[in-house]
A and B are shown apart, each in its own frame.
Chain A
């Protein structure tokens, strides 16, 4: 089953702008994770936020989690052309099953 819905499906911004991607999930979770996938490559883990956390930062990444709304957002600040990729949220269900959303395609124009 697909856990997450991601919004928007695609996002095109200029270098230096911020990019925000949203994710919703359906069941109770242990944690929520974000991954990046460059074209033709494997997924790279970016950040993990636990169910008892509300916000987490890592470099230019900021993730929020609202368990009451079953939603999360990923903010990439001061975007670069190298940030062009697909971004996936993934919900860790109890039972240690990581279920992915549909992904957001981000294009950063230089």
Chain B
């Protein structure tokens, strides 16, 4: 199936740990994104990559590091996890011209305890 797929779907971890979330798209899009959705459902962009190049880097703690090995993959690594990092993280992809809608993955629910 053509889609944006994220793994894992759920992630429960202790404070201070390091974790990664993986994202892959097979839609042939050239731009990928990470969004964070908090408990009040606010969606905030974190990062955007176009053809493996970082183009949007919002005010995000440097404990968050995206990595795009190729234009079909965008992973998110989080160091020294904090309670406030608990949220749902969505990966998305699009054609990078700004005139198309985004295709979202189903999300990764991260719970830091």
**Which positions in A face B, CB cutoff 8 Å?**
2, 30-31, 33, 35, 37, 41-45, 48, 50, 86, 88, 92, 94-100, 102-103
Contacts and interface: CB of A to CB of B under 8 A. Distances in A.
Contact of A2 (B35, B42, B103): B42
Given A41-B106, A86-B41, A103-B41, A31 B90 contact: no
A7 B57 CA distance: 29
Given A88-B43, A102-B41, A97 B103 contact: no
Contacts, number: 59
13 contacts: A42-B4, A42-B90, A42-B106, A43-B92, A44-B104, A45-B101, A45-B103, A48-B101, A95-B56, A96-B56, A96-B96, A100-B42, A102-B42
A101 B99 CA distance: 18
Interface in B74-106: 90, 92, 96-106
